[in-house]
Chains A and B, each alone.
Chain A
Amino acid sequence: MPADPSTSRSGSATSPGRLVRKTVPLRHPGRWVAVAIIAVVFASLVASASGNPNYQWNVVWRYLFSAPILTGLSHTVELTVGSMAIGIALGILLAVMRLSPNPVISTAAGVYIWVFRGIPVLVQLLFWYFLSALFPRLSIGIPFGPSLLSVDTNHVITQLTAAILGLGLSEGAYMAEIVRSGILSVSPGQNDAAKSLGMKGFLTMRRIVLPQALRIIIPPTGNETIGMLKNTSMVIVIAYTDLLTSVSLIYARTYETIPLLIVACIWYLAVTTVLMFVQSGIERRFGRGFMPRRQPGRLARTRARLFNRSATAGATHAAGGSDA
């Protein structure tokens, strides 16, 4: 074992005759100026928000937990979860297809990404909603052969399915590029190592490549999820009652536009806050072996409880430095 370098360092620190001089730390007057400016701006914002009666805070409080708003909120959350679930599953499939050595499979994925990224989501939503104009009946059966099951398109494509399809299928195209960049970030040596241990392609992808790729994939996916939360408000064009539609239905009747938009803002911000916590929890989970293990703070302990992991496990190795 090499000698502990800290021994020699502490040896010199305690050695006699060392020159000790007072060091004056650098002053930062600019920071105090910035603090003052921000404080003034913030105070004037608060004063305006509390002093201006047009905000109608009493109306905000009246509607914040009202039944139509909460229903709209739950629809927005459902849409976000549903379309992100489709988007992520589709994204992984498309990314693996895109990286396939088979040129037909790779091109097919490329064309999908091209089409669904290229057409505005708003148009896609309308397209799905009015699918019955193109195909009055949908049927499942043998391609070019007899059909086994046939249904009226308008029965299957409700506002909800049109919304989830429209948002999820286009999200899949974006997620595909995110997943692909994650997969490409894993060093080819990992593939060599897995192969040399007799692991097959699918097993290598599932156990070795994707878990490492996730570290790269998660931050932009968090971005996409928060973006999706707000993109769901586009379903107003097909009159699905999400948060924004619910809000607009009320202010169309009462003309209390500003306070009701504030209600929507508060809920969008609240859900975004929750999503940010979830994201940082997941990032920790997949940062294993990359991030230094630290003594978890109070926030981390709460987070660990939420994610059902042992908070003390991270504390066993205080040092996480690498010399590799």
Chain B
Amino acid sequence: MPDIPMVQAIGVSKRFGHIEVLKAIDLTIPRGEVACLLGPSGAGKSTFLRCINHLEKINEGELLVDGEFVGYREHGGKLYELHERHIARKRREIGMVFQHFNLFPHMTALQNTIEAPIRVNGETKAEAKKRALELLHRVGLSDKVDSYPAELSGGQQQRVAIARALAMQPKLMLFDEPTSALDPELVGEVLDVMRGLAKSGMTMIVVTHEMGFAREVADSVVFMADGMVVETGSPSALFDNPQHERTRSFLSKVL
């Protein structure tokens, strides 16, 4: 079913109390594409990302991943909220990388990477370990397999976090400002891994402030402000020829 988009948002709204963080977001991300979400802080980029794997519940609209609801089941025209275990099952297919890494600090890099494949997917330790070692090698951390997160630099921790998410063999990867908490000199090593992942055909949604990365890697760039999608387009269209005043003023400050 290549015509079903990987992520489809129709009129997605989200409120925290009385504050409307997302206002009727419409967005389609085709399979195999890399989309970068840009915009000032408070624009709702991270919230939107967290809505995709149902870490946040949306208040209105529909949000489909690979043609299916994540937190609901449709029956007779109604949506029924799913039990936590069913949501957990769907989340396995959606990898997520966080701004502050959120590695499990009491586990080594390897243990972090094999935990979910063993406990959630029921893989044997041997097969989980084999793939984990391949992934850690792929992110360039073969020599840090037995290190605890506190013994790794920020960039190394984030690469472990990417390996950990990939170990679940997801069909979609969400990146929530993956380089924002890093020292400038460590940003490159994480972006390199993400670049490689994009080349391998992974569908990725990346909230980022790295304009260079967005321009180079993204298939489409989404500019958000005040909980709305202001403008969507190819990197060249959006960076070189922005249509909206809000986009232009943002870009003039960050480029």
A residues at B contact (CB < 8 Å): 2, 187, 189-190, 192-201, 203, 207-208, 211-212, 215, 286, 288-290, 293, 316-317, 319-324
Query: Across the interface, do B102 and A316 meet the contact criterion of CB distance under 8 Å?
Result: no
Query: Across the interface, do A190 and B102 meet the contact criterion of CB distance under 8 Å?
Result: yes
Query: Across the interface, do A197 and B164 meet the contact criterion of CB distance under 8 Å?
Result: yes
Across the interface, A203 reaches (CB within 8 A) one of B120, B148, B161, namely B120
Expressed in whole angstroms, the Cα–Cα distance for A290 and B104 within the complex equals 11
B residues at A contact (CB < 8 Å): 50, 53, 55, 84-85, 88-89, 91-92, 94-96, 98, 100-108, 115-116, 119-121, 146-154, 157, 161, 164-165, 168, 174, 183, 185
Expressed in whole angstroms, the Cα–Cα distance for A211 and B107 within the complex equals 10
Report the number of A-B residue pairs with Cβ-Cβ less than 8 Å: 98
Expressed in whole angstroms, the Cα–Cα distance for A193 and B167 within the complex equals 13
Query: Across the interface, do A320 and B164 meet the contact criterion of CB distance under 8 Å?
Result: no
Query: Across the interface, do A196 and B147 meet the contact criterion of CB distance under 8 Å?
Result: no
With A190-B104, A289-B149, A322-B150: A199-B88 Cβ-Cβ less than 8 Å: yes
Expressed in whole angstroms, the Cα–Cα distance for A268 and B178 within the complex equals 54
Query: Across the interface, do A200 and B55 meet the contact criterion of CB distance under 8 Å?
Result: no
Query: Across the interface, do B148 and A200 meet the contact criterion of CB distance under 8 Å?
Result: no
Query: Across the interface, do B91 and A196 meet the contact criterion of CB distance under 8 Å?
Result: yes
Query: Across the interface, do B153 and A198 meet the contact criterion of CB distance under 8 Å?
Result: no
In the complex, which residue of chain B has the Cβ closest to the Cβ of A200?
B88
Query: Across the interface, do B98 and A198 meet the contact criterion of CB distance under 8 Å?
Result: no
Expressed in whole angstroms, the Cα–Cα distance for A125 and B115 within the complex equals 45
Query: Across the interface, do B100 and A289 meet the contact criterion of CB distance under 8 Å?
Result: no
Report the minimum CB–CB distance from B17 to chain A (whole Å): 17
Which of A201, A207, A319 has most B Cβ within 10 Å? A207
For A289, list chain B residues within 8 Å (CB): 105-108, 148-150
Expressed in whole angstroms, the Cα–Cα distance for A293 and B148 within the complex equals 10
Report the minimum CB–CB distance from A189 to chain B (whole Å): 4
For B168, list chain A residues within 8 Å (CB): 197-198
Nearest 5 A/B pairs, CB to CB: A198-B92, A289-B148, A193-B102, A197-B116, A196-B96
Report the minimum CB–CB distance from A192 to chain B (whole Å): 6
